[in-house]
Structure formats: structure tokens, C-alpha cells
Amino acid sequence: MAEPYRPVAPVDPTNLRPMLFLDVARQIMLSEDWPYRAVSVVMESHTGPGRFAFYGANHPDAIEDVHARRVDVSTLNPAALLTMAHRGTGAFSSPRDVATIAVLPHDDRLGFAVTERLGFTSLEDIATARYPLRVSVRGSLDACTPIMVDVVLRAHGFSLDDIRAWGGEISADQPMPNHPSRIGRLERGEIDAIFDEGVVMWADQVAAAGAQFLPLSPHHLEILQALGFRRGLIEKSRYPSLPCDVPAVDYSGWPIYCRTDTPDALIEQFCQALFSRREDIVWDIGGVRQPPLPLERMVQESPTTPLDVPMHPRAAAVWRQHGYLP
């Protein structure tokens, strides 16, 4: 029987070249003019069968890839989408096999801003009027957002496709809503609405654009909670230009996830790597230099780290070992 391969050094021929490409890819992604930022990492053995794949971008198709064992570990936003996959509700017709490893803290809501000149005060008004709304939603850089927008609209009896059928227009825009190409068009009357997340970046610009966030009723919030959303609030105390608090759905949390039967050995290594590299891992929106990865928060239930999908047992064991879980 052949002897198993043993590394000759921590950095040896088996990982020297792969690490070179990983480091180069990281540096390229930091370039402002480089749009190719979705990354797949495939790890294979030099000495036998075995293949593990990570997908580090926010795309709903990754849930199907994890469920089908084409990808082992991925991430997405919001946590509510993973909850829907786990339950087989909302955007999913049947349950998908998913488990949580940890959740990156993120505080957000999904906002439905509509120009005041139309006189709508709720999403129900739009459905009743069958109005040909001109709506700006997120483009392909965040394909999860239009899906979650549609889940909310369907709970109110219509969809983005219905708006098109009524003679409206749906524009898929890449920039965030605070960009002049979106909030500026709303102010100029070139579009009627923006349906999007990331409200921290644009909530205080809605009133100046002649628009308002439409509140979600308690009845519809109950329906959406059953699908996998949590209730949220776009708060006047946080965004002073708002006339009042706006009931909304929560859009928080960036879960890192896998299948429930993903091999324990891989999950052990993944979690230990997060722990070992916690001082160096970039995890928050902002500059390259960041505070340590907040693992103590990432494995505990909180408003910014929703844990509605059970944790992979091996991940829970590792976090317990490090004192993050009782």
C-alpha cells in the first residue's frame, strides 16, 4: 500500500501555487474598476478522489447548488431567504437541505418607496388599481433582492410580472438606490418607485425625492412571517426625514451555510479556519482594515444574526469548544 502524502513544510508544492492564485484574486477584487467579484474555490486532493467547493457570492442559485451537492459551503443575504429554503416556503416550492455554519452581522430592511403624486398608501392600493408602475429594482449584482421583493408583492396579490402585464416597467439597476441614476430618476418623475434593501443608504433621501415608504399591514406581516421573513421597522429615530416609523420586513443577516450532511471533517476545518484567521478576515462593508471577525456574535441568535435555520452539528460543536455556545 502506498504511503500517504505528507507535506514537507507548511507551505510546500501542494499549496504554494494555489495560495498564489488566491492572494492574486483577492487583490484583483479590491480594484475599483474590476466587476468580476463572485468567486468559486474548489479544493481537490493530489493523492486521491475528493473535491470540496465554496461559492463566495450572494446568488440564489447557490442554494440549489448546495442542496444538489455541487457546492459545499456558500453565503447569501438576507437570512430570510435561507429560512424560506429550509421551510420550502416563499421563493421555494419545497424544502431544501441547508444548515447554518455562522451568520455575519448585518442590520437591514426591505423598503417599498413610491412617489407621493400617485396617492398610494399601501401595496394593496397598487394591486387594486392594477397600476402600470415604473419600478426600479436591483440588477444582477444582487439577484436575491428581486426574488424577495416578489415574495412580498405576491403576499399582496400581485407580482413584478403583473406590473409588466399592466403596462408598467421594471428596470433592473446595478447601483444602490441612493445613486443619482435611481433616486434621481424617482425625484424627476422618470420612475414611480424603488423596491430595494440597504435602506441605511437611502431612507433619508426618499422624502426629498417626493416619495414615501409604504407600510406593511399587520395582516400581511403575519403572512410574510409564516413564509420566513421577520418583522422589521424603518425607524424615524434613525432616519429623521421620515414622517413616522414604517412597518417593514427584516432583511438582516448574511448566513454562511451548507447541507445538514456536509462532512464533519470539512465543517471542522472551515470553522477552525474562521477562528484562526478571525483577526485578518474581512467581514464588514467598508475599508480593507477591519475589526476582528465577531464570531461570538455570529453564532448567537440576535436581530442582526437571525438563526432560524438549525446549525450544522459539527459547527455547533466547534463553537461550543471555543466557548461561543453553552
**Domain presence at residue 164:** yes
Q: 127-168: per-residue pLDDT in tens?
A: 999 999 999 999 877 889 999 999 999 999 999 999 999 999
**Domain presence at residue 99:** yes
Range of the domain at 129: 109-250
Considering the domain architecture, whether residues 217 and 269 belong to the same structural domain is answered as no
Average pLDDT over the chain, rounded to whole?
95
Considering the domain architecture, whether residues 202 and 304 belong to the same structural domain is answered as no
Considering the domain architecture, whether residues 153 and 225 belong to the same structural domain is answered as yes
**Domain presence at residue 2:** no
Considering the domain architecture, whether residues 94 and 201 belong to the same structural domain is answered as no
**Domain presence at residue 239:** yes
Structurally, the chain folds into a number of domains equal to 2
**Domain presence at residue 32:** no
Residue 13 has what pLDDT?
Answer: 84
Whether the bond between 146 and the residue before it is cis, its omega within 30 degrees of 0, is no
Helix 313-321 / helix 264-276 crossing angle, nearest 10 deg? 40
Considering the domain architecture, whether residues 119 and 218 belong to the same structural domain is answered as yes
pLDDT (average), residues 81-97: 98
Considering the domain architecture, whether residues 278 and 241 belong to the same structural domain is answered as no
Residue 32 has what pLDDT?
Answer: 86
Q: 12-68: per-residue pLDDT in tens?
A: 888 899 999 999 999 998 898 898 888 999 999 877 788 999 999 999 999 999 999
H-type alpha helices, the chain: 13-29, 61-67, 79-87, 123-129, 144-155, 160-165, 185-187, 218-227, 264-276, 295-298, 313-321
pLDDT at 2 over 70: no
pLDDT (average), residues 249-273: 98
Q: What is the dihedral of CA 250, 252, 256, 259, to 10 degrees?
A: -10
Considering the domain architecture, whether residues 214 and 258 belong to the same structural domain is answered as no
- The answer to whether 242 and 234 are in contact (CB under 8 A) is yes
pLDDT at 323 over 70: yes
- Model confidence at 265, pLDDT cuts 50, 70, 90, reads very high
| Grid cell locating 174 | 446595478
* Among the ranges given (43-52, 55-64, 189-198, 301-310), the one the predictor scored with the smallest mean pLDDT: 43-52
**Domain presence at residue 8:** no
CATH number at residue 63: 3.40.190.10
What whole-number percentage of the chain has pLDDT above 70?
99
**Domain boundary pick from 218, 250, 282:** 250
Considering the domain architecture, whether residues 199 and 169 belong to the same structural domain is answered as yes
Considering the domain architecture, whether residues 299 and 222 belong to the same structural domain is answered as no
Considering the domain architecture, whether residues 167 and 275 belong to the same structural domain is answered as no
Residue 7 has what pLDDT?
Answer: 81
Beta-carbon contacts of 37 under 8 Å, excluding residues fewer than 6 positions away, are: 29, 57
Considering the domain architecture, whether residues 169 and 226 belong to the same structural domain is answered as yes
* Among the ranges given (6-10, 115-119, 296-300), the one the predictor scored with the smallest mean pLDDT: 6-10
**Domain boundary pick from 250, 278, 293:** 250
Beta-carbon contacts of 139 under 8 Å, excluding residues fewer than 6 positions away, are: 172, 173, 174
The pTM of the full predicted model, rounded to 2 decimals, is 0.94
